[in-house]
Amino acid sequence: MGEFDQYLLTIITFFPLVTALGLMGTSILASWLGAEGLPAALWKPIALASTILTFLLSLRLFAVFDPLETGFQLVEHVPWIPEYGIHYFVGVDGISLLMVLLTTFLMPVVLLASWNDVSKSLRTYLSFMLSLETGMLGAFVSLNLFQFYVFWEAMLVPMYFIIGIWGGPRRIYAAVKFFLFTMVGSLLMLLAMLVLYYLSFDQTGVLNFDLVAPPGGVAGGLLQTVVPLDGTWWQTQTWLFVAFALAFAIKVPMVPLHTWLPDAHVEAPTAGSVVLAGVLLKMGIYGFLRFAIPLFPSAAVDFTPLIMVLSVIGIIYGSLVAMVQSDIKRLVAYSSIAHLGFVTLGIFALNVHGLNGGVLQMVNHGLSTGALFLLVGMLYERRHTRQITDFGGIARPMPVFAACFGIVTMSSIGLPMLNGFVGEFLILIGVYLAAPIFAIIATFGVVLSAAYMLWMFRRVVFGPVENPENRGLIDLGLREKIVMMAMVIPIIWIGVYPNPLLRRIEPSVIELIRQLETRGRVVGADLEVAPEPGFDSEPGFEPEPGFESESAILDEGEERL
C-alpha cells in the first residue's frame, strides 16, 4: 500500500468539504479584499469536478480493497480528544465500501442532473451539497462511535436546509418534520451511547469510543463490551438496542415511523430527493449493520421477530399505499418504504443470504429509486407538475425518456437481468431459511410492486397525448442522457454480473454473523449459518488475534455484572 492509499479514506471523505469551504471562502476573502470573487459560472463546474474526483478516488479505494480480508481495511487512527477515548478512526469493510461508492457515485450524477434546477443562492446550495457528501461519507467510514454521531448529526443540517430553502411549497413543514423525527431518534441514541461508553469503562478501565481495537492499540473496542442481559426482557442490552434501533428505524424509515419520508420527498428538490433516497435512508440500515446488531447481538436476535413483522408490514403497506397515489413522487416515496422493508427483512434474517442480499439491495435501491427521482425531476422541470393525470402518452414526444423510465421501472420491480432481482432473490432465500412465512408474504410484494409501478408507468408514458401541453415536450438533452446512462449502466451491470459486489460483501457479512455467534447469548438454530467443516481453512476467515481474550473478557464481565 502506497503512502497515498494510507490516507485515501480521509481524502475521499473531506475532499468535498474542502471544496465547499473553498467556494464559500473565496467569496468571503474576495469581499474582504474588495476583489472580484470566483466567477459564478465556475461554481457548478468546480463542484462537479470535485465530486467526480471524489468518485474516481473511491474507485481507487475499490481497487485497493482486498475482498478476501474480513476486518476493516485502510484504517487510520489519530487521537482527537484521547482523554475521552475520542479518536479520529476510519476504515472500511465490504459493507461500508459499497456505501462509500454509492455515495460518491450518486453525487456527481445528482449535481449534473440538477444543473439548471437551482438559481437561488447557488453557491450556498453547492456548499451544502458538498458538505452533505462529507457528512455521509464520514458516517460510513467512522469506526469511532462518537465520531459517527458527529457525522450523523452533521448530515442533518445541510439536508434540512436543502429541503427548507430549495424545496416545494410545503418545504418548511417537511423540513421541520424531517429534522424533528431524526432528532428524536438521535437523542435516544446519544443517551444509549453514553451508557455503553460507561459500561465499557467499567469493564476495561479505559474511556473509549472506538468500535474495534485500533491497529496496535492496547484497548479493545466497544464491540467487546459485555452488555448485561439475563432472563427478564427489560435489561440494559434490550433498552440500549431499542434506543439505537429507534434512531435507525426512523432513518430507514420503518413503518410506522415513516410519515416524514413522503413529505420530505415530495417537498425536497430533485437533488435532495435523490440523495435522501439514495444514501441518507441507507444510513439507518447501515447503523443497524455496523452498530445496533454487533453491539447488542442478543437483543438484536430477541427483536428479530418484531422487526421482521414491521418489515413485512412495510412491504405490503408501502406497496398498497403507493398504489393509490396521484403524485408520482409520493408514489416513489411509498415504494421506497416497501423496498426498504425488503432490505430490513433481509438484514434481520441474520444469515449470509439475507445479509448479502440486504446490503446489495441497499445499493440497488439507491440506484433505481435514485434514478426514478431523477426522471420525475426531469418531468417536473418541463411541466411543473407531478400529478399522474397531467401526463399520458409521454413516449411519443420523449422516446428516450420513456425508454430510460421503462428500464428503471423494471429494475424497481425486480426484473431478472436488472439489479433489483439479485438483491430481492437473495433476501428471499435468506429470509426463507430463517423464517419461511415472512419470505412467502414478502413475495406477494413482488406482485404489488409490479401493479403500482406499471399502473403509474402506463398512465404517464403510454396512451394518446391528450393534454396539449405534453405535445411539445422536448426529449432528454445530452446532459440528461449522460445522467441516465450513468444510472442505467450499473443497473444492468449489477443485474447481469453482481458477483464482484457480492464477493466484497460476503466476508464482512460472515464476520458479522461470527460476532453474533460468539457474542450472542443464544442464537437460534435457524439463524445459524453453520460454520462448515471447511470453514476455518478458507482464506481470510481466521479468527482475529483478539479473539481469545474476548471470551475471557466475556466471562469476567459476566461475573462482575
Residue 24 vs 320, nearer CB to other proteins: 320
Tell me the closest approach of the beta carbon of residue 145 to other proteins, in angstroms: 28
Which residues 6+ apart lie within 8 Å of 525 measured at CB?
Answer: none
Return all residues near 156 (Cβ < 8 A) that are at least 6 apart. Answer: 179, 182, 183, 186
Grid cell digits, residue 65: 480493497
We find the least distance from the C-beta atom of residue 289 to other proteins, in angstroms, to be 16
Give strand pairing partners of 327: 387
Residue 147 or 351 having the CB closest to other proteins = 351
Shortest distance (Å) from residue 416 CB to other proteins: 4
Quickly list DSSP for 283-348.
HHHHHIIIIIHHHSHHHHHHHHHHHHHHHHHHHHHHHHHHHT-SBHHHHHHHHHHHHHHHHHHHHT
* Nearest to other proteins of 98, 223 (CB atom): 98
Angle at 458 between CA 453 and CA 464, to 5 degrees: 165
Give the footprint of other proteins on this chain (CB under 8 A): 177, 181, 256, 258-260, 317, 320-321, 323-325, 351-353, 356-357, 392-393, 395-396, 399-400, 403, 410, 415-417, 421-422, 425-426, 428-429, 432-433, 436, 439-440, 443-444, 446-447, 450-451, 454-455, 457-458, 461-465, 481, 485, 496-499, 502, 506, 510, 529-532, 534-535, 538
Q: Give me the least distance between CB of 475 and other proteins, in Å please.
A: 9
Shortest Cβ 432–other proteins spacing (Å): 4
Other beta carbons within 10 angstroms of residue 236's beta carbon come to 19
Measured from the CB of residue 353, what is the shortest distance to other proteins in angstroms? 6
- Minimum CB distance to other proteins smaller for 240 or for 410: 410
Cβ proximity to other proteins: between 73 and 419 the closer is 419
Taking the least distance from each CB to other proteins, the nearer of 160 and 457 is: 457
Q: What is the dihedral of CA 483, 485, 486, 489, to 10 degrees?
A: 160
Give backbone dihedrals phi and psi of 69, rounded to 5 degrees, phi first.
-85, 140
In whole angstroms, the minimum distance from the beta carbon of 447 to other proteins comes to 5
Q: What is the DSSP string of 147-181?
A: HHHHHHHHHHHHHHHHHHHHS-TTHHHHHHHHHHH
- The residue among 35 and 530 lying less far from other proteins, judged by its C-beta, is 530
Question: For the stretch 122-141, what's the b/e string if a residue is b when 16 or more beta carbons lie within 10 angstroms of its beta carbon?
Answer: ebbbbbbbbbbbbbbbbbbb
Give 65 or 317: the residue with its C-beta nearer to other proteins: 317
361 phi and psi angles, rounded to 5 deg: -70, -25
- In the numeric block, which cell numbers belong to residue 376? 420525475
d(CA 47, CA 35): 22
Between 169 and 534, name the residue whose CB sits nearer to other proteins: 534
Shortest Cβ 90–other proteins spacing (Å): 28
Closest CA to 505 of 31, 75, 95, 29: 95
Which amino acid makes up residue 543?
P
Least Å from the CB of residue 448 to other proteins: 9
* Cα torsion 488, 489, 493, 496: sign: positive
